[in-house]
Amino acid sequence: MHPNNKKTLRLILGDQLNIHHNWFHTVDETVTYVLMEVRSETDYVQHHIQKVLGVFAAMRAFAQTLQNLKHRVLYLRLNDADNLQSFDRNCEALIAKHHFTRFEYQLPDEYRVDQCLKAFAGSLTLETKVYDTEHFYSTRSELKDLFAGKKSYVMETFYRYMRKKHQVLMAYGNKPLHDKWNFDEENRQKLPKNHKPITPLVFENDASGIETEIKKAHIKTIGTVDSKKFLWPINRIQSLALLEFFIEHCLPQFGTYQDAMALDEWSLYHSRLSFSLNIKLLSPKEVVDKAIEAHSNRKTEIAFHQLEGFVRQIIGWREYMRGIYWLKMPEYASLNYFEHKASLPTWFWTGQTNMNCLKQAIQQSLEFAYAHHIQRLMITGNFALLAGIDPDEVDAWYLGIYIDAFEWVEITNTRGMSQFADGGIVGTKPYVSSAAYIHKMSSYCGTCSYDKSKKTGANACPFNSLYWNFYARHEQRLAKNPRIGMMYQVWNKMQPDDQAAILKQADLYLQQINEL
C-alpha cells in the first residue's frame, strides 16, 4: 500500500484527556482521533449523575480543544444512531467505514477496559500499537518489581522509593528534607470551634444539554445535580484554576485539618483535584511541583508538614494504589477476607438515617459526588466493615457515587484499605473505630439522635456495640495482629455480662439495620 494511503485511528478514553501527550505534539492528517460516550461505561455500575455528566462534558471540551488545534476528530455522542455502545464495536465499525490501516490506543487504567482493548487489538488484521498515557510517576509494574520476593507491600517503603527516584522533597545524600519522611502525626487535628473554612471554589458549567441526553438514554444514576451550574472543572483551564485556588488558600491549612470533619462543610481545605487528575486534565507531577514551589516561596505561611501530607497523597498513596491494582488484579476484585455477606443498608442510597455522621457523609456524597478520605474511610467505610457488608456491594457503591472513582484507585482503597477484604495487602490492620474517634475528629456527634458515650441501652451509638462485636466475631483472624492486641486485652477484661449485653445490642442493631 502506498504510504499516502495509510490512515490511523487513535482511541482516546474518557479518562485520558492529557493534552500534553506526545500524540498531540504534531498535527498529522493521516491520524484521526475518536472519543465516544458508550453504555459499556455508563452501565457497568450505577454512577452518580455528576460523574457521568462530568466525564462527558470534559470529553466534549477536550474534543473541541483538539479540533481547535487542527487535529482530525470523530466524536460519538451517547444517543447517536451509529453508536454501537462499546469501544471495540465502535472502533471495528469505524475501521471498516473509513478504511483505517492502523489502530492505536493508550494503556487503559482499568483492568476491565484493558482486557477489552487488548482482545480487540489482537483480533485485528491491521497494525496496532499501544502507548503509555504519560501521566503517572510510576509504571504499572514498578511496585511489583520493587517488592519482588517480599511478602508484604508497605506503602511507606514505596513512598520513600518514589521520593528518592524522583528527587521530591529530598536533601543531599538521598536524605529527606527536615530529616524525616513522614509528618502524618502533625496532620490529625479537629477543626477548632467557630473556625470557618474558606468557601470552596466551584464552577458554573452549563451541562444541561448533556443531562437531557443522559435522561433520554434512560441511564440509571444516583445523586442530584444542578446541570445549569455544574460545579466541577471540565477542562484544563478550570482544573488549573482549582489547583491555584488550593495552593493559594487551602494548602497552608491542608495537612493540619486533612482528617477533620465538620457539619455542613463538604470541602474544608481539601484540593478536590482528584477528578481532574484521574481524567488527566492535570498531571500529578505539575500538581506536586506547584505545591513545592509555593512552599519555597511562602515558607512562613505554608509549613512543611502541610506540604508533605499533600505530596504523600499523590506521589505515595495514589501511585501505590495503582501499583497494587496492577499487581493483584483480577483476583483482587473477589477478595473477601472476613467472608462478609450482609447487604448495604437502604439508607446508603438516600442518607435517611438517624446516625448523624452517616447522614452527613452520605447526603453530602449524593449532593456533591464527593466526600474526603476520612469521611470515606472512617464514616461510611467504617460502618460497612463493622456491619459485615459484602465488599462487592461496598465496591459498587463507592465506584458509583464519587466523581473521582475509577476502579484502579477505588477498589484498592475500598476493598483493601477500608474493608480489609484483602487480608492486609494494603493496610496493616482494619480501620475501624467506635464513636470516640468520630467525636474526636468531627462535630457530628453533638447533634446526633444517638448517644456517643453509650454502648448499650436506648439511643446507644451503634458504632460502639458494632465495634466490639466486630472484634469478638473475628478474634480468630485478628488476635495475633500486633497492632490490635490491645483491643482484645480491653475486651477480655470486661465482665462477661457486659460483653453479652454489648453483643446483644449489636445483634439488635444489625437486625434493624435499615431503621438505624
Q: What is the mean pLDDT of residues 303-307?
A: 91
Give the pLDDT band (50/70/90) at residue 4.
low
What pLDDT is recorded for position 486? 87
Q: Are 47 and 400 in contact (CB under 8 A)?
A: yes
Would you say residue 2 has pLDDT above 70? no
What pLDDT is recorded for position 194? 86
pLDDT in tens, 425-481: 998 899 999 999 999 999 999 999 999 999 999 999 999 999 999 999 999 999 888
Q: Is residue 500 helix, strand or coil?
A: helix
The predicted model scores a pTM of 0.95
All cell numbers assigned to 178: 527536615
All cell numbers assigned to 55: 466525564
Distance CA 453, CA 406 (A): 38
Would you say residue 69 has pLDDT above 60? yes
All cell numbers assigned to 380: 461510611
pLDDT above 90 covers what percent of the chain? 90
Would you say residue 79 has pLDDT above 50? yes
pLDDT in tens, 502-516: 999 999 999 999 999
What pLDDT is recorded for position 185? 73
Q: What is the mean pLDDT of residues 268-295?
A: 97
pLDDT in tens, 180-229: 998 877 667 888 888 999 999 999 999 999 999 999 999 999 999 999 99
Phi, psi of 116 (to 5 degrees): -60, -50
What pLDDT is recorded for position 299? 87
Please say whether the dihedral angle defined by the alpha carbons of residues 17, 72, 205 and 219, taken in this order, is positive or negative: negative
Would you say residue 3 has pLDDT above 60? no
What pLDDT is recorded for position 451? 96
Would you say residue 133 has pLDDT above 90? yes
What pLDDT is recorded for position 173? 84
Q: How many CB atoms lie within 10 A of CB 326?
A: 20
**Domain annotation for the chain: domains and CATH numbers:** 3-131 (3.40.50.620), 142-204+234-328 (1.25.40.80), 346-515 (1.10.579.10)
pLDDT above 70 covers what percent of the chain? 99
Would you say residue 387 has pLDDT above 50? yes
| Mean pLDDT, all residues of the chain | 95
What pLDDT is recorded for position 485? 84
Distance CA 134, CA 107 (A): 10
Q: What is the mean pLDDT of residues 342-364?
A: 97
Helix axes 462-473, 496-511, angle to 10 degrees: 110
What pLDDT is recorded for position 188? 75
Would you say residue 256 has pLDDT above 70? yes
Q: How many CB atoms lie within 10 A of CB 119?
A: 10
